Structure 1
Amino acid sequence: MTPRTATVGTLATAMTELLAKAGVANPDVDAELLLGHVLDIGRGEVQAAALTGRPVTDAQAETVTLLAERRAQREPLQHILGRAAFRSLYLAVGPGVFVPRPETEQVVQFAIDALRSVPDPEPIGIDLGTGSGAIALAMATEVPNARIYAAENSVDAFLWARQNFTETAAPNATLVFENLAGAFPELDGAASVVISNPPYVPDAAIPRDPEVRFFDPAAALYGGEDGLDVVRQLSETAARLLRPGGTLILEHGELQGEAIRDILTRDGWRAAATFRDLTQRDRTTTALRA
């Protein structure tokens, strides 16, 4: 693809064709977002500009073409833009951190609802393995009376999380560099909610999408032979952190709900239940501390 045109519409058409040939899902959306990024306008404005034949400069055309070619190599759109939307947040992301997914927006709703239902005027929520900080910062900004704590033990991911915590500046959110097993001993028995989106892909599995397979960090993907090694650790850690009746919330793969319920039930958790996402795939398992 080369910049042979000087309007938003013709560029959008050429980019969409390039991305579609590369197997990118929703190539028209990505083309519009890339154009908006270069032109510093929203997606709706890009669509309007395409209809009205708005011209672009040669420099803009060259820049957006280079970005489209990167996307055609299946580099994640969020890495190219340097940002990922998550609920009301627009988070900094890039190499070394797991890109937050739309399905996790529904998972964190369980935590938000649980925190809002707690009679404590300052309930405590904990996000273990926070990655970019998406889950923790969503809880902190949407339940401002809660105290939210987040732990991450990957140096690369922690740097992205620290940037997002700094930019969001939620006064009720605390980030620490710590492993999951030893996180927050000072909060033992005090938390109302513990949530995690742990690595859950079995070691032998190969993610289908190139964006995941080649760009998401392995530490955020793979969870042992059956994908549940970190879930087993989380069961132990969350039992230490939660008060009696507190809620554990885990994101997982669509075929793992039954196995996770079995793990939690054997560990003494009550009312383990699995819920589907908007695509009707099992996505979230919750349980209550006895």
Structure 2
Amino acid sequence: MVARAAWALAEAGIEAPRAEAELLAAYVLDVPRGRLALADGFTAAQLDRFHTLLDRRIAREPLQHLTGTAGFRRLELSVGPGVFVPRPETELLAGWGVEQGRRRSHPLVVDLCSGSGAIALSVAQELPGARVVAVERSPAALDWLRRNAADRAAAGDTPIEVVAADVTDPELLAELVGRVDVLLCNPPYVPRSVVVSPDVAGHDPDEAVFGGVDGLAVIRPVIARAAELLRPGGLLGIEHDDTHGTAVPGLLSADGRFEAVEDHPDLTDRPRFATASHRADGQRPAAGTAWQTGSS
């Protein structure tokens, strides 16, 4: 049955058909995927359920919506309609944030456009001494974020603080101005003209995917606010579209309050996130000062 399902998924254009067929079967049988070969066969009711889920996946409903969870670093997060499904490439940004946070014993870490809470909750789990603040605007996404935050706190992870706010608000987190050690953001960044996959177009929230005409409509105000929130020497990491490998570092350098600007590739070697350090003096450079970006 798994082999037949894999063939049907491949015919529908699913990129990893065998893996997804196994994950659906394991979900229906309530066993880990690695123990699927040792499981008993489907009951009649389980087989009906498996076929129903398979049909929904062939119709390009996201696998994570069918199973109700998405893996991210060391976490299993609840996801579904109304929240952006976290992607594997974002694990790189989260990992970078964790590494930077380890430089301080009790870092203050802010996650903007938090969605399901993937970045914020990963930081809280891997840096138990951190204070983590997650900001999200969407009421639907906030429901998922709060659910995941409660689940992780119940599991023993350091609780995070959830803030309902718009990251483009120029007064965002006014009480934290000049205090943040690490600020991370996976904003909506796809240019409006880009045609996204059926899995995204039909299911991920539009406001979590598209970032205006050029994909930078949210990134621009986030950079400006990050420059206010970060302490001198504080660090910023922001994910971007793979066409923005020059544009986002350019915006960081042009702001004038950042240094050590770099862009980082994802696992397929495409530009994926930019990082920078807040200038130690907190000031913009004098006019005419040259700024350069590096590449990891």
TM-score (ref. length: structure 2): 0.90
Q: 2:35 aligned with 1:45, yes or no?
A: yes
Q: 2:46 aligned with 1:57, yes or no?
A: no
Q: 2:228 aligned with 1:240, yes or no?
A: yes
Q: 2:118 aligned with 1:134, yes or no?
A: yes
Structure with the higher helix share, 1 or 2: 1
2:52 to 40, 46, 66: 66
Q: Secondary structure at the match of 2:77?
A: strand
User: Residue 101 of structure 1 aligns to which amino acid in structure 2?
Assistant: R
User: Residue 242 of structure 2 aligns to which amino acid in structure 1?
Assistant: E
Asked if 1 retains the 8 angstrom alpha-carbon contact of 2:232 and 2:278, the reply is yes
| Cα offsets for 1:193-241 (capped at 9, x unmatched) | 000000111112111x210121111101111111001110111111111
Match of 1:157? 141
Match of 1:263? 251
Residues of 2 paired with 1:204 and 1:87: CA distance? 31
| Cα offsets for 1:54-73 (capped at 9, x unmatched) | 43211111111100110010
Where do 1:63-212 residues align within 5 Å? 63-118=49-104, 121-169=105-153, 170-180=157-167, 181=169, 182-207=171-196, 209-212=197-200
2:14 to 13, 24, 30: 24
Structure 1 alignment gaps of length 5 or more: 1-10
Structure 2 alignment gaps of length 5 or more: 280-296
Alpha-carbon shift at residue 172 of structure 1 (Å): 4.1
Residues of 2 paired with 1:73 and 1:264: CA distance? 41
Give the stretch that moved more between structures: 169-178 or 258-267: 169-178
| Cα offsets for 1:234-277 (capped at 9, x unmatched) | 11111111001111101111120211111111111111110111
Match of 2:285? none
1:219 to 179, 188, 207: 207
Match of 1:281? 270
Residues of 1 paired with 2:18 and 2:158: CA distance? 39
Percent identity between the two aligned chains: 43
| Cα offsets for 1:17-56 (capped at 9, x unmatched) | 111111111111111111111110011111344xxxx432
Residues of 1 paired with 2:95 and 2:178: CA distance? 23
Q: Considering only aligned residues, what root-mean-square deviation do their CA atoms show, in Å?
A: 1.0
Match of 2:240? 252
User: Residue 78 of structure 1 aligns to which amino acid in structure 2?
Assistant: Q
Residues of 1 paired with 2:240 and 2:116: CA distance? 18
2:2 to 8, 12, 17: 12
Runs of 4+ in 1 over 4 A off after TM superposition: none
User: Residue 175 of structure 1 aligns to which amino acid in structure 2?
Assistant: V
User: Residue 94 of structure 2 aligns to which amino acid in structure 1?
Assistant: V
Residues of 1 paired with 2:138 and 2:57: CA distance? 26
Residues of 2 paired with 1:184 and 1:141: CA distance? 23
Residues of 1 paired with 2:135 and 2:93: CA distance? 18
Alpha-carbon shift at residue 171 of structure 1 (Å): 3.2
Q: Secondary structure at the match of 2:82?
A: coil
